[in-house]
Amino acid sequence: MNGRVLHVVGTRPNFVKAAPVVAALRDAGCDQVLVHTGQHYDERMSDIFFRQLALPRPDTDLGVGSGSHARQTAELLIALEGELTARNPALVVVYGDVNSTLAAALAAAKLGIPVAHVEAGLRSFDMAMPEEVNRRLVDQLAELLLVTSPEAIGHLAREGVPADRVHLVGNPMIDTLLTHLDHFDPAAARAAHALPERYAVVTLHRPANVDDPEAARAAVHALTEAARLIDLAVPLHPRGRAVLGEAGLTGAPGVHVMDPLGYVEFMSLVRGAAAVITDSGGVQEETTVLGVPCLTLRTTTERPVTVTHGTNRLVGPSELVPALRKTLDTAPDTRPSEGPPLWDGKAGPRIARIVTRWLDHHA
């Protein structure tokens, strides 16, 4: 096998998805480089994930930091162009749908370097979501489209992507979850944050919920009403912390606001929760496998398999409290008997086989 694989990661969901892929390619003897863009740079959003997930330290940390979508993407393009030129990889592997993913795919395409997209083909059909713009563009640039759920295959076909580029591999985020499942300790996490035995976990960071003060106020009103039913554990992402705080989330009765958590600590809280309220795509997937009821504060989801094969339900702010009340009154295990196809903890090795086979023929 010839050729170097360069992975680009930038945010905590990227780290969770990349860990099993990097490990499987290492076991296959692949020459790898790991580039961290620094899109998430706080120790609690970045460094702790590398330690807990046994990811190798990045060969390069570009330290791009935060900024507007345009500024961040532009800075990433410049920095990644230099990195790709210096490293000369045979294949660039990108993950998910964040700005780092788009910038890496575009920089690679401009340099004539093939791209593999892990989590290709997901669609919310909501172009107001920055992530939807990113994922659509990346899929048009990618040589290998590594798909986590069957409906993504149809989306890519309708967009004209050749079928021989598309591979259903399962979900590497679930590989990571299953690998660390025995380390998730709900009782210890609950005690660490002085939570009652029954609680719900809340995560909010999407622009639609936290960038607009009016939307943030609606979300916070719904959450403060929800806290009358059950205590809420709210690890606050730096994005939107100020807006949600100004809207009245901090200090509301029954609302336990905390700093961002490491992967094991956060998943321990999720595993023990009576319900999860979120706008995160990854959390929709994790709760599906854990069997924890999930209420997603969005009008659309790019992961409908979490609704059809999991525990997820889409709700608006006005629907949250009735939906939560119904969830809390329902028997705990309401999962479908069969989970999503190939969410079995073996996506990393499947991806490694596809990548190494591609390298053997192209590098």
Active site residues: 205
Residue 67's CB is within 10 A of a number of other CB atoms, namely 14
Structure tokens at 153: 């295959």
Place of tokens 């076909």: 157
How would you label 149-162 residue by residue, b for 16+ Cβ within 10 Å and e otherwise? Answer: bebbbebbeeeebe
DSSP string, 275-341: EEEE--HHHHHHHHHHT--EEEESS--S-THHHHSSSEEEE-HHHHHHHHHHHHTS-S----SS-ST
Contact present, 210 and 244 (Cβ < 8 Å):
yes
Q: Which residues lie below 8 Å from residue 188, measured CB to CB, with a gap of 6+?
A: 268
| Tokens at 253, concatenated | 């009765």
